[in-house]
Amino acid sequence: MGLVLELALGHLGQRKRQTLVSVAGVALGVGFFIGMMALMGGFQKYFITQVIDSWPHIIIKDEFREPALQPVFRVYPQGAVQLVSLKPRDELKGIRNAREILAALEDSPYASAPTLRTQVFYRYGSREVAATLVGIDPKREMQVTQLARDINQGSLDALYSTANGVILGEGLAKKLGVGLGDMLSVTSPVGAVLKMKVVGIFNTGVTALDNFESYSLIKKAQVLAARANVINQVRLRIPDVSVARQVAQELENRFGYKAESWEESYSNVLGLFKVQNGVMYSAVGAILVVAAFGIFNIISTVINEKRRDIAILKSIGLSEGDIKGVFMIQGLILGLVGTLLGWALGYGLTEMLASIRFNMEGFVRTQGFILDRGLKPYGVAALFAMLSATFAAWLPARKAARLNPVDIIRGAA
Amino acid sequence: MPVLQTRGLTRILRDGPQPVPLVQDIDLQVEAGEFVAITGPSGSGKSSLLYLLGLLDTPTAGELWIDGQDAARLSATELARLRLTRLGFVFQFHFLLPEFTLLQNVMIPMQKLGRLETQEMRERAAALLVELGLETGHDKRPDQLSGGQRQRVAIARALANDPLILLADEPTGNLDSRNGQIVFDIFRRLAARGQTVITVTHDPHLAAQTSRQIHLVDGRISG
Ligand SMILES: Nc1ncnc2c1ncn2[C@@H]1O[C@H](COP(=O)(O)OP(=O)(O)OP(=O)(O)O)[C@@H](O)[C@H]1O
Ligand SMILES: [Mg+2]
């Protein structure tokens, strides 16, 4: 082994510049992967944590996955009937057997909270903003989302103590220009109007929530929607978010109503993350492929140059495995050194990103990059780099091992 | 027991459109300590025979025993092992590794064999170099040497694992007559202490200094 390593180092030492270029290629791939993963992984993880905290894990809605058949289809099940321009009913349908569903959920390991969700217009002075009002039972809501924690002005309890209290998202409050204690006029789609007092302002960090959601007691929402005693969503929190999809499916099968997991609610954003990751993996993959070509190239060159050395080593008695080892080790060294430098580069890149300050409002609001400093990208990048280096070295190394010394010795005379 | 024995050893190339016989029907027996010259005109198959005897090439027919072992029964790895432990090669070209010092070059076979400690390898390599007339400069690289010196380093390397048989293919081919004579003097000295040496040469003056000559014509032993 010592000999094989010495031979490998000897070969690389003779081609310093090419060695450097190959190593730099690997380092770039590894470094950028780590930097980008810290950036995007950090953002994605943060977003998901915020969503998991601020949004119910599962929502049972007053909808069905398959819309009910129109009567005409029921009459002519086989008929060539087509309906166009169907006008949807716009009033809240509500969950009919909400009481039974809630009672059933009491016996499950899942926390549940009934809500009535309706669209409203907030008017403050001359400003008018459309938003969503979620009528909640604060005590039960606390078990389902982190709303209480996210309220940074006022409190959730104030909904109980104030007549017609409402809690607004920070973005929504800003758009309206209201602060704690201000009175708003709230109009519902059915025309009901209510004067409400701002008793709380929350900030979840998820822009979609902070800019468009607001909360009141369920009774007030029912008044505004003109649907006394009706709820249209049951919000749930489950112990293990990772199985939200399966639990949602079970609940849907059990109760008939559409049960939406948080992944489904945010499927557009999560889908975007997938695309983002795909783009990044292919970009880094491309860098590593180029780096692998560099390694393949240098090792092929070395082998061509060292045909005589290979011949004499074989005649001395080194085995095919030894010869293959000499060149595989060179690939591994290039991969390893590249990986180590790439780690340093990736770390530096992450630190640099961390030092950048700015204000941004996208899916989340932030004053700088949210970075994931986990070690996993280091491992993944190293694995990819070592695999590609090994493969890039293995191809020419296999050929070198099979060289016939007689052909070379004859040619050299 | 002979150190090397062949019966009907034949190598015929069949890559091209016409089969090309390199060597045919070689019956040979070499005893320990013999100093053998293989001679013959250019293209008569001297190198081809030496590659077969050195287990670098595989015969198409016939039998070959080295140190009592039937080469036909050995795997590629076992053949490599046999080359490492029993055989030493010297070619017309020196084949020294350019990035290693003289000492390191001579140590390579010992390192592969792995029987000695590194320090012992160093000492043995240095002793071999001294014995072959290279008293100093063991840390030089091959390109800092003359042709004759390089060939002596190559001989030292071939002797590194104390081989049963030293095989040489025109080791003096690239040397002037003075350096050629030095190489042959070394061979004679080795043979005198019992080292088996088989060398190809087309120099009759040098061949005359061996204890036995095998003359090849068209791939066959003549006379
Ligand atoms: N790969 C090959 N393809 C075709 N012919 C070959 C091949 N190798 C060797 N030969 C031929 O086989 C014959 C024997 O070659 P070999 O090298 O053994 O002769 P030699 O006696 O060593 O000659 P020289 O004194 O020139 O070194 C020659 O005619 C040579 O041209
Ligand atoms: Mg020849």
- Indicate whether A97 and A26 sit together in one domain: no
For the residues A88-108, what does the mean pLDDT come to?
82
Residue B50 CA to ligand 2 center (angstroms) comes to 9
A256 and A276 inside one domain: no
Which tokens sit at A245? Answer: 């999809």
- Count A/B contacts: CB-CB distance under 8 Å: 81
pLDDT band at B19 (very low <50, low <70, confident <90, very high): very high
Is position A216 within any domain?
yes
Contact A385, A340 (CB under 8 A): no
Residue A52, pLDDT score:
85
Please write the tens of the pLDDT for every residue from A56-67.
Answer: 999 999 888 777
Domain-located, residue A84: no
Which 3 state secondary structure label does DSSP give B219?
Answer: coil
Domains of chain B: 4-221 (3.40.50.300)
Minimal CA separation from A331 to chain B, in Å? 19
Q: Tell me what the pLDDT averaged over chain B comes to.
A: 95
pLDDT band for position B23 (50/70/90)? very high
Per DSSP, B92 falls in state S
A261, A287, A305 — which closes off a domain? Answer: A261
Domain that holds residue A253: 58-66+92-261
Residue A144 lies in a domain: yes
Provide the pLDDT for residue A349.
93
Examine the domain organization and report whether A273 and A376 are in the same domain.
yes
* A383 domain-assigned: yes
Q: Is the CB of B169 under 6 A from ligand 1?
A: no
Domain boundary residue, one of A261, A288, A314: A261
pLDDT value of position A205: 83
Banded model confidence at residue A40, pLDDT cuts 50, 70, 90 = confident
Residue with tokens 């002075």: A125
| Cα separation, A165 vs A136, whole angstroms | 12
Question: In angstroms, how far is CA A319 from the centroid of its own chain?
Answer: 50
A91, pLDDT greater than 70: no
Is residue A75 situated within a structural domain?
A: no
Q: Quick check: is A221 in a domain?
A: yes
A346 and A228 assigned to the same domain:
no
Query: pLDDT value at position A1?
Result: 56
Quick check: CB of B11 below 6 Å from ligand 1? Answer: no
Buried b / exposed e over A240-250, threshold 16 CB at 10 Å, is: ebeebbebbee
DSSP conformation class of A89: P
Optimal mutation site among B85, B95, B161, B200, interface A, most CBs of chain A within 10 A: B95
Cβ contacts (< 8 Å) between A3 and chain B: which residues?
108, 111-112
Burial class of A320 by CB neighbour count within 10 A (0 to 12, 13 to 18, 19+): middle
User: A333 CB contacts (<8 Å, ≥6 apart)?
Assistant: A8, A9, A12
For residue B136, the distance in angstroms to the closest alpha carbon of chain A comes to 23
Nearest ligand 1 atom to the CA of B45 is 18
State the pLDDT confidence band at A89, using cuts at 50, 70 and 90. low
What's the pLDDT score for residue A82? 76
ipTM: 0.95
Mean of pLDDT over chain A: 89
The residue type at A220: K
In the numeric block, the tokens 């080790």 are attached to A329
Closest CB to B89 among A10, A315, A321? A315
Cα distance between residue A272 and residue A53, in whole Å: 20
Q: Of B15, B20, B198, B203, which is best to mutate to test ligand 1, by the most ligand atoms within 8 angstroms of its C-beta?
A: B20
- Contacts (Cβ under 8 Å, ≥6 apart) of A45: A372
Closest listed residue to residue A239, CA positions, set A147, A143, A363: A143
A2 by Cβ neighbours in 10 Å (0-12 / 13-18 / 19+) ranks as: exposed
Q: Over the stretch A107-160, which tens digit does the pLDDT of each residue have?
A: 889 999 999 999 999 999 999 999 999 999 999 999 999 898 899 999 999 999
Judging contacts by C-beta atoms under 8 Å, the chain A residues touching residue B109 are 316-317
CA distance A26 to chain B (A): 26
The SS3 of residue A324 is: helix
CA separation (Å) from A333 to A33, A247, A393?
Answer: 20, 49, 10
Please report, as a single letter, which amino acid is at residue B101.
T
Residue A73 maps to a domain: no
Put simply, the chain A residues between 312 and 331 with a CB less than 8 A from any chain B CB are: 312-322
Phi and psi (nearest 5°) for A75? -75, -40
Do the Cβ atoms of A312 and B111 come within 8 Å? no
Of B47, B77, B97, the CB nearest to A319: B77
- What integer is the mean pLDDT of A95-110? 89
Do A230 and A273 belong together in one domain?
Answer: no
Q: Which one of the ligands is nearest to B18 CA?
A: 1
**d(Cα A335, Cα A342) in Å, to the nearest integer?**
10
- Residue A378 domain-assigned (yes or no): yes
Q: Do A313 and B111 touch (CB under 8 A)?
A: no
The CB of B202 under 6 Å from ligand 1? The reply is yes
Dist. CA B188–CA A262, nearest whole Å? 90
Residue A111 in 3-state DSSP? strand
Whether A2 and chain B come into contact, CB under 8 Å, resolves to yes
Contact B20 CB / ligand 1 (< 6 Å): yes
Backbone phi, psi, residue B86, to 5°: -110, -20
Burial string for A66-83 (b: 16+ CB within 10 Å, else e) reads: eeeeeeeeeeeeeeeeee
User: Cα(B185)–Cα(B191) distance, rounded to whole angstroms?
Assistant: 10
pLDDT in tens, A226-273: 988 999 999 999 998 889 999 999 999 999 899 999 999 888 888 998
Cα gap B26→B198, rounded to integer Å: 15
Pairwise CA distance, residues B173 & A26, whole Å: 47
By the CB criterion, residues less than 5 angstroms from ion ligand 2 are B 47
Shared domain for A96 and A171, answered yes or no, is yes
Q: Is there an atom of ligand 1 within 6 Å of B47 CB?
A: yes
Q: Judge whether A402 is closer than 8 Å to chain B, CB to CB.
A: no
Indicate whether residue B48 lines ligand 1 (CB < 6 A): yes
CA gap A38, A206 in Å, rounded: 20
pLDDT tens-digit series, residues B169-190: 999 999 999 999 999 999 999 9
Q: What are phi and psi of B37, to 5 degrees?
A: -110, 135
> Are the CB atoms for A412 and A369 separated by under 8 Å?
no
Kind and range of the H or E element at B158? helix B147-158
pLDDT value for A88: 60
Structure tokens at A377: 């990208």
Q: How near does any CA of chain B get to the CA of A23, in Å? A: 21
Neighbours of B139 (CB within 10 A): 10
Given an 8 Å threshold on Cβ–Cβ distance, is B111 in contact with A318?
Answer: no
Tokens 């929190």, located at residue: A237
Same domain for A217 and A196?
yes
Residue from B20, B111, B117, B150 to probe the interface with A (highest A Cβ count within 10 Å): B111
Nearest CA in chain B to A10: B99
Indicate whether A144 and A216 sit together in one domain.
yes
Q: Which amino acid is at B7?
A: R
Among A197, A232, A261, residue at a domain's last position: A261
Burial A196-222 (b: 16+ CB within 10 A, else e): bbbbbbbbbbbbbbbbbbbbbbbebbb
Task: Please write the tens of the pLDDT for every residue from A185-220.
Answer: 999 988 899 999 999 999 988 888 999 999 999 999
Count CA atoms within 13 Å of residue B205 on its CB side.
6
Write out pLDDT tens, residues B63-83: 999 999 999 999 999 999 999
CB-based contacts of A322: which residues, under 8 Å, 6+ apart? Answer: A3, A4, A313, B112
Q: Does residue A158 sit in the same domain as residue A180?
A: yes
Q: What is the atom index within ligand 1 of the atom nearest the CA of B48?
A: 18
Task: Answer whether residue A90 shows pLDDT above 60.
Answer: no
Residue B147 identity: G
For residue B42, give the ligand 1 atom closest to its CA. 25
The total domain count for chain A is: 2
Q: Is A304 exposed, middle or buried (0-12, 13-18, 19+ CB in 10 A)?
A: exposed
Distance CA A317, CA B160 (A): 12
Whether the pLDDT of residue A222 is over 90: the answer is yes
Interchain contact, B108 vs A413, CB within 8 Å: no
Q: Are residues A278 and A393 in the same domain?
A: yes
Q: Are residues A229 and A314 in the same domain?
A: no
Write down the residue that tokens 């909808």 correspond to: A63
Whether the pLDDT of residue A284 is over 90: the answer is no
B43 ligand 1 Cβ < 6 A = yes
What tens digit of pLDDT does each residue of A388-410 get?
Answer: 999 999 999 999 999 999 999 99
Pocket lining: B46 vs ligand 1, CB cutoff 6 Å = yes
